[in-house]
Amino acid sequence: MTRNSVRSALAIALTLAVAATVGTAIAASPKRATKSTQKQTGPKKMTAPDVAKKDHVVKTPFGAERNDEYYWLRDDTRKNKDMLAYLNAENAYADSILNPLKPQQDKLYDEIVGRIKQDDSSVPVRERGYWYYSRFETGQDYPIYARRAGTMEGPEEILLNVNEMAKDKNYFNVGTYDVSPNNEILAWAEDDVGRRQYVIKFKNLKTGEVYPDTIARSSADFVWAGDNKTLVYVENDEKTLLTTKVKAHVLGTDAKNDTLLYTEKDDTFYMGVDRTRDDKFICISLSSTVSNELRCAPADNPTDFRVLAQRERDVEYDADHLDGRWVILTNAPDENGKPATNFKIMTAPTDATSRSQWKEWIGTRDDVLLEGFELFDGFTAISERSKGLERLRLISADGKESYVDADEEAYSMGLAANSESNTDWLRYSYTSMTTPATTYEINTETGERKLLKQQPVIGYDASKYETKRLWATAKDGTKIPVSVVYKKGFKPDGTAAVLQYAYGSYGMSMDPGFNLSVVSLIDRGMVYAIAHIRGGQEMGRQWYDNGKLLNKKNTFTDFIDVTDMLVKEGYAAKDRVAAYGGSAGGLLMGAVENMAPEKYRVILSQVPFVDVVTTMLDPTIPLTTNEYDEWGNPEQKEYYDYMLSYSPYDNLKEQAYPSTFIGTGLWDSQVQYWEPAKYVARLRDLNTSANPIVFRTNMDAGHGGKSGRFRRYREQAEMYSFMLNQLGIKD
């Protein structure tokens, strides 16, 4: 809820580039499934790579032991020759399987990229007298960030041309940027590896001079102080990548001498910095899975950071400041100890330092989840969720309430970039599975609505497609929402192929939005379904609570129950179901592949978190300590036993597995490459089916895959062609 600054324009630009993508015991080794695969995929004969087993006993503090025979594939330096040779061999084997599908890959790629308006630009955002925006040029992979003074008719001033910055680099990303309060100095964070260890650099926008100042090992979180020469930023730990320190850098000085402002000693907390809505404060935000704390200091002198309210376990809050008061979103309990499970909104005076000074403004409700808000001089916009769908509530200064209307049965709606508070106009985003990303603004006084931009999709006609909200019944009776999209004229007669997607972790809701690449699948007669399973927050906070820790298996069984519903209701043939997930959604894929392999023809898994127990036992791995309240701490036997019972790597067994495509990045900092590498090695060892297993490692990228707006679609077209081939869908 803190200030939507120039960085909001960056977020819009990045959305242009990525919004079109989707929308997470050892048995004897059977013979490898190679012969039938070779018959399907072409004359070039190549067997699946062999990988050596090396006994490695993993121990826990209470004496449990497991043999992790592929542990040797882990190399934090990414230089081990044997490990690299194995990954390269897997890539070569993937080529032997996928190269015969190249004509279809090329066609898919051409279709997807052909829908993109190449010379596109974002909706301009006004900030301190300038209009900020990003734009793409035809044929270019990366955005150009620019601004114009006064009006959009003025001369363009290019801030960053990322195409030039990314030349001769296999990977490049500008994580964020910010302009000093006097509009003269640009700071930006760049990463040329994909590991999210950024380097911050500076540029004088009046002279074009790039300063020699550089700040290494930074997160992409930073903000200018009011003196226009001090940058407050977050430093990452070199090994764990945890955000451990907040520092202040003064332009013209050596970053080695930067002032330490705050050190976080609890490694279960993430850290970030931002300015408040009214620019009066810089706040350090500290957050774990179940707790938050804000420490704020005057923006003109950010040295003495004072706590807004001390952290307490199971008390979350976030706050913003405008018009002489703090406005706080929280789940803090009331005076009787009853928590606000779906959150409430409080207010507090500027000098507040404890929860005792908070007063309730908007109470909690069992049927509505409050997710965020934006403060304006004359009204407040509240982002909330009811019956699995997002909505925006407007509250005027005199207390009158209204809602922003939606146009469809299943959709996604949220706050857009609203960088200034002195306006009657609210910008918001809208999309559905048939409606491309759209930005509107609505006048909160008159109700007038303006369409600012709808993402152009070349050759796409929304009237040819239909979206619907379905409900599946879980084994425990819970109703699970499912969003589907298909081409008009489709008949649910039980013959179609379906791609079922889900995430189901961290309380992240996978709302029904437009997916550029999925159009190619729907045009080939497929149904695309998003399963809104427990572990997200689609149905309120309890939806998340019932899909984490010792309730995590609900996430997996919900997904399987959705599959059963789609088959039963005729939306999919029982032998033509493909499942897709990434990162924590890759954990989901690994779990359902173990639990119900017979129900899926194809599993697609990107950067999958599949070695849950080993990773969560290792606090040196990035993200581990921050996530004990998401998965549990396996040093406690109750959690160890539960995690071990579903961890995909640990539950592989000798059985027939579906066709599987797994992708990863060598430099991934979120899910280390060795998790899927180990998983694939063991999966090959135990699989008794003749279905192909493809493992693709991007040797130059991290968690998000290749950089650039077009190159990512090469990877997606490759994965889709594998899926279509296995489903028997030909052009």
Q: Please report how many Cα atoms fall inside a 13 Å half-sphere around the Cα of residue 203, on the Cβ side.
A: 13
d(CA 583, CA 592): 14
Q: Which helix (H) or strand (E) holds 383?
A: strand 379-386
d(CA 286, CA 283): 10
Name 671's Cβ contacts closer than 8 Å, sequence gap at least 6. Answer: 583, 586, 607, 608, 609, 664, 703
Question: pLDDT at position 45, please?
Answer: 52
pLDDT band at 708 (very low <50, low <70, confident <90, very high): low
Name 702's Cβ contacts closer than 8 Å, sequence gap at least 6. Answer: 171, 193, 194, 195, 196, 665, 667, 668, 669, 670
pLDDT band at 714 (very low <50, low <70, confident <90, very high): very high
pLDDT of 488-501, one tens digit each?
Answer: 999 999 999 999 99
Residue 44 predicted with pLDDT over 60: no
Of 7-16, 66-75, 324-333, 712-721, the range with the lowest mean pLDDT is 7-16
Question: pLDDT at position 712, please?
Answer: 84
User: What percent of the chain has a predicted confidence (pLDDT) above 70?
Assistant: 92
Residue 4 predicted with pLDDT over 90: no
Report DSSP state, residue 121: B
pLDDT band at 192 (very low <50, low <70, confident <90, very high): confident
d(CA 81, CA 102): 30
DSSP notation for 18-60: HTTS----PPPP---S-HHHHHHH-S---PPPP------EEE-
Average pLDDT over residues 304-318: 96
pLDDT of 335-365, one tens digit each?
Answer: 899 999 999 999 999 999 999 999 999 999 9
Average pLDDT over residues 520-527: 98
Of 267-281, 557-571, 705-719, the range with the lowest mean pLDDT is 705-719
d(CA 536, CA 540): 8
pLDDT band at 656 (very low <50, low <70, confident <90, very high): very high
Residue 5 predicted with pLDDT over 70: no
Q: Which helix (H) or strand (E) holds 247?
A: strand 243-250
Q: How far is CA 333 from CA 277, 339, 342, 343, 344, in A?
A: 26, 4, 11, 10, 10
Of 210-219, 240-249, 324-333, 363-372, the range with the lowest mean pLDDT is 240-249
Question: pLDDT at position 602, please?
Answer: 98
pLDDT of 6-36, one tens digit each?
Answer: 333 333 333 333 333 333 322 222 222 222 3
pLDDT band at 410 (very low <50, low <70, confident <90, very high): confident
Average pLDDT over residues 392-402: 94
pLDDT of 150-160, one tens digit each?
Answer: 999 999 999 99
Q: Strand pairing partners for 655?
A: 687
* Cα torsion angle, 234, 236, 237, 238, sign: negative
d(CA 132, CA 153): 13
Phi, psi of 592 (to 5 degrees): -70, -30
Residue 332 predicted with pLDDT over 60: yes
Of 117-131, 229-243, 461-475, 627-641, the range with the lowest mean pLDDT is 229-243
pLDDT band at 502 (very low <50, low <70, confident <90, very high): very high
Residue 422 predicted with pLDDT over 80: yes
Question: pLDDT at position 20, please?
Answer: 37
What is the bridge-based pairing of β-strands 693-698 and 57-59? Answer: unpaired
Of 450-454, 626-630, 684-688, the range with the lowest mean pLDDT is 626-630
Residue 561 predicted with pLDDT over 90: yes
Question: pLDDT at position 703, please?
Answer: 54
Question: pLDDT at position 592, please?
Answer: 98
User: Contact 698/666 with Cβ under 8 angstroms?
Assistant: yes
* 551: helix, strand or coil: helix
Residue type for 408, please?
A: E
Strands (E), 432-570: 438-443, 449-454, 465-473, 479-487, 498-501, 527-531
User: Contact 176/221 with Cβ under 8 angstroms?
Assistant: yes
Average pLDDT over residues 535-560: 97
User: Contact 203/186 with Cβ under 8 angstroms?
Assistant: yes
Q: How far is CA 261 from CA 237, 288, 297, 318, in A?
A: 16, 20, 11, 21
d(CA 319, CA 13): 26
Question: pLDDT at position 19, please?
Answer: 37
Q: Strand pairing partners for 578?
A: 499, 602
Q: Residue 354, exposed/middle/buried by CB under 10 A (0-12, 13-18, 19+)?
A: exposed
What is the bridge-based pairing of β-strands 198-204 and 210-224? Answer: antiparallel
pLDDT band at 241 (very low <50, low <70, confident <90, very high): confident
Number of continuous H segments (helices) and E segments (strands) in the chain: 15, 37
* Cα torsion angle, 235, 236, 237, 239, sign: negative
* 633: helix, strand or coil: coil
pLDDT band at 46 (very low <50, low <70, confident <90, very high): confident
d(CA 505, CA 534): 8
Residue 161 predicted with pLDDT over 80: yes
Name 358's Cβ contacts closer than 8 Å, sequence gap at least 6. Answer: 309, 328, 330, 332, 346, 347, 348, 352
Report DSSP state, residue 101: G
More confident site: 727 or 22: 727
Residue type for 671, please?
A: V
Question: pLDDT at position 64, please?
Answer: 81
pLDDT band at 42 (very low <50, low <70, confident <90, very high): very low
Q: How many C-beta atoms lie closer than 10 Å to residue 635's C-beta?
A: 14
CA 282 to chain centre: 26
d(CA 676, CA 556): 19
pLDDT of 81-106, one tens digit each?
Answer: 999 999 999 999 999 999 999 999 99
Residues of the chain with CATH 2.130.10.120: 10-18+117-421
User: What percent of the chain has a predicted confidence (pLDDT) above 90?
Assistant: 81
Give catalytic residue positions. 583, 668, 703
Strands (E), 87-209: 125-127, 130-135, 144-149, 156-161, 173-179, 185-191, 198-204
User: Contact 539/618 with Cβ under 8 angstroms?
Assistant: no
Question: pLDDT at position 730, please?
Answer: 87
d(CA 293, CA 266): 12
Question: pLDDT at position 701, please?
Answer: 61
| The CATH number of domain 10-18+117-421 is 2.130.10.120 | yes
Q: Mean pLDDT, the chain, as a whole number?
A: 90
Residues of the chain with CATH 3.40.50.1820: 35-113+465-727
pTM of the model: 0.87
Question: pLDDT at position 59, please?
Answer: 82
pLDDT of 588-613, one tens digit each?
Answer: 999 999 999 999 999 999 999 999 99
Of 454-468, 529-543, 616-630, 693-707, the range with the lowest mean pLDDT is 693-707
CA 205 to chain centre: 32
The domain covering 35-113+465-727 belongs, at the CATH homologous superfamily level, to Alpha/Beta hydrolase fold, catalytic domain (3.40.50.1820)
pLDDT band at 476 (very low <50, low <70, confident <90, very high): very high
More confident site: 644 or 387: 644
Q: Which helix (H) or strand (E) holds 163?
A: helix 162-165
User: Contact 147/133 with Cβ under 8 angstroms?
Assistant: yes
CA angle 536, 542, 543 (to 5 degrees): 30
Measured torsion, CA atoms of residues 485, 487, 488, 494, in degrees rounded to the nearest 10: -80
User: Contact 562/531 with Cβ under 8 angstroms?
Assistant: yes
